[in-house]
Structure 1
Amino acid sequence: MVRAIRGATQIESGDRDAILSGVTELVTEVMSRNELTTDDVISVIFTATPDLTAEFPALAARKLGFHDVPLICASEIDVPGALPRVVRLMAHVETDRPRQQVQHVYLRGAVALRVDIAQ
């Protein structure tokens, strides 16, 4: 089955190292909590708030071994009052897990975005 997994994290600062570190943590948690390998991943869409421009979030996934996985980055809508410095992802994966057992991952300040499903 194909499932979509959501995740987000709030990055400590807008610099390159902070972006890569935060996204690495997010991707690692999504993979671990859902017991996935890169072979299970069909594609990943990353978005970043407009205040994060020092690096592409997808680079962190590439450094984790996502070499053959299609990745794309986009900018989030600049909504007034939105949580700053947030990277979101939606990963499309092949898994036998029922939809109810998919683990969506919200880290750091991004927990506030989806308190209903944050783990």
Structure 2
Amino acid sequence: MTPSGYRSKDEEEIWRAKDPLLRLQKWLLKKQWWSEEEEATQQENLRREVLETLKRAEKRSSPPLESLISDVYADITPALQRQFDQLKRHIRRYPEAYPRGVKSLDLDVGTDTDPQGEA
């Protein structure tokens, strides 16, 4: 992807010349420690590996919704619990906007009104 929408061609070329990865690649090619063929093969292997990993990841079930909090905070504050309850209510209210199988929405959530006046 190029920043052509918000950068001039000249500015883009200046920064491209400073790109450390491109500079390393050119240096390796010049030293004949790397070749265009090796680069193409490596790019294809990495592309294939990423796609295979993505397929495996998509087959896995989603983690529980609580992991948004439990994986980050040791203790859940009352304010954080309220925000989490609001999130669950929002997901229940607009299920079409979220992936199927969002776990943990069966937990009991109070019906207090959130700050925007939604139940």
| TM-score, normalised relative to structure 2 | 0.23
**Greater helix percent: which structure?**
2
Q: In terms of Rg, which structure is larger?
A: 2
Higher relative contact order (CA 8 A, sep 6+): 1
| TM-score, normalised relative to structure 1 | 0.23
